[in-house]
Amino acid sequence: MRENIKTGIKYLALFGMCFLGGRSLAAGQTVRVDGEKPCRLAILIDDFGYCGAGTEEMLALSIPFTAAVMPFSSCTAEDAERVRQAGKEIFIHMPMESLTGKREWVGEKGVFRDMDDAAIRECVEEAFSVLPDAAGMNNHMGSAIMEDARSLSAVMEVLKEKGVPFVDSMTTAKSLGKAVAAEKGVALLERDVFLDSTDSVAVVKEHLRKAGEVALEKGSAIAIGHVGPEGGKITAQAIKEVAPELERAGIAFVTVSELAK
């Protein structure tokens, strides 16, 4: 009980800091002044496109979130339509070469370092033709591409033309995403917290609360979760149970494209 009280006090204090100039809050009262922006948290759920476990549960969540759909997978069209029907935002979860994973893990199509610029462009443009309403892109795996300026530049050129943002999933600490995106004039956001890859609802809840703390401290945050074996029903349950708690702390759930504006 004492720990819950301490946590509540911390959230209220951080919430006050999240508004311009900071404001004191009366117990149980939310204070907002016109023109001030609330703390915002965007949840990006990867791996749609495989008809993975937890897809229905995730799409049934009442909060807004962004669904990252694999563009060249067996259930791409089916999952994308499910996402649209649920009123959620679509991103392209672009398969990209990894420094450590096997090439086949990326899939039949993706961005690889042995492709020339024209081939990379063609691949990225094909992904947008499959998911024409995609509001942006993030990388699936991709540590090798995120460290390779030439390959990444070819990807960013297409995003610049489309006028959409890129989310760096931060699969490598040596990512050149921010530098290349700035050079190309592409809006880029970075993942702050990974939510899942665990079979424990409690662990996902703690990760989600950590994302909330980042949002309260910085004004915004991006958390990445998954459908399928990496997250699925466990992640959906954790989000459903913790979301009201974060909203009471003054955090607004938004889509990634809203965060990028």
Dist CA 222 CA 41 (whole Å): 6
* pLDDT 10s digits, 49-85: 999 999 999 999 999 999 999 999 999 999 999 999 9
pTM of the entire predicted model: 0.86
- Structural tokens at position 254: 């938004």
Q: How far apart are CA 82 and CA 80, in angstroms?
A: 5
Domain 38-260 fold is TIM Barrel (3.20.20)
CATH 3.20.20.370 in the chain, residue ranges: 38-260
Those residues whose C-beta lies under 8 Å from the C-beta of residue 122, and which sit 6 or more positions away, are: none
Q: pLDDT of 214-227, one tens digit each?
A: 999 999 999 999 99
Give me 61's structure tokens. 């969540």
10 Å CB burial of residue 153 (0-12, 13-18, 19+) is middle
Neighbouring C-beta atoms of residue 36, cutoff 10 Å = 12
Q: Give the model confidence (pLDDT) of 120-164 as tens digits.
A: 999 999 999 999 999 999 999 999 999 999 999 999 999 999 999
Strands, E assignment, 15-101: 39-48, 66-69, 89-96
